[in-house]
A = this chain, B = another copy of it.
Amino acid sequence: MLSRDRIVTAAIAVIEREGADAVSMRRIAAELGVGVMSLYNHVPNKSALLDAVAETVLSQIEFTDDPAAHWTQRVRMQARAFRQIAHHYPRCTMVVVSRQLRSTAGLLPVERALATLRDAGFDGREAVQMLRVFIAYIVGSLLREVGVTPTFAPVRPDIAVAEVDPALFPMVSAFAPDLMACDHEEEFDFGLELLVQTMAVRAEQAAGREG
């Protein structure tokens, strides 16, 4: 028996196996052994199906940050929880970050983050600004991690020797080893720490202003 859930699950499976560009209504129908048009009894169109994919992946994020912990630690935990998407569903990541969800699954992470930033002592405007900085950083980092965006490694992994002209690009050539290697967790945590620490400085200033 066909159902919305089975369709969404099949869509995620196809995306993870063959990529978000390869996914199609016909491909998903084949995966389920049904005719294409059967899908339309449970999902209005492809766009809504991709929304459902994003929603399902988002709702599986496990936020484990302790409400009693210091807010800086909670921000770190929330950011890392979000990054789990890139681990569990790398090829769905672009779909997740590019769908404009106004559902519970979409707004819950925002709600949590805003609450944490309010705890830090920011007013509404500041909290929203900080949230946007974090989201931008996280989205940018995840897209690099899943290969949507380049790492700027000057050579392709399938090519043995460096191709970049050292005369034209002295820096890129000199730092080729550092550009080639990209430990995604390490790079993510580095920037996260940078952001959390400046944010802590700002929070103190905000608290000082308020008295």
Interface residues of A (CB under 8 A from B): 97-102, 104, 106-108, 110-111, 114-115, 118, 124-125, 127-129, 131-133, 135-141, 143-144, 148-152, 154-156, 163-164, 168-172, 174-175, 178-179, 182, 187, 190-191, 194-195, 197-199, 202
Question: Is B124 touching A175 in the complex (CB atoms < 8 A)?
Answer: yes
Q: Would you list 24 pairs from A and B whose C-beta atoms are within 8 A, ordered by A residue?
A: A98-B143, A99-B150, A100-B150, A102-B154, A102-B155, A104-B168, A110-B152, A110-B169, A111-B169, A111-B172, A114-B175, A127-B175, A127-B178, A128-B178, A129-B190, A129-B191, A132-B182, A132-B191, A136-B136, A137-B140, A139-B139, A139-B140, A194-B198, A194-B199
Distance to closest chain B CB from A180 (angstroms): 10
User: Chain B residue with minimal CB distance to A113?
Assistant: B171
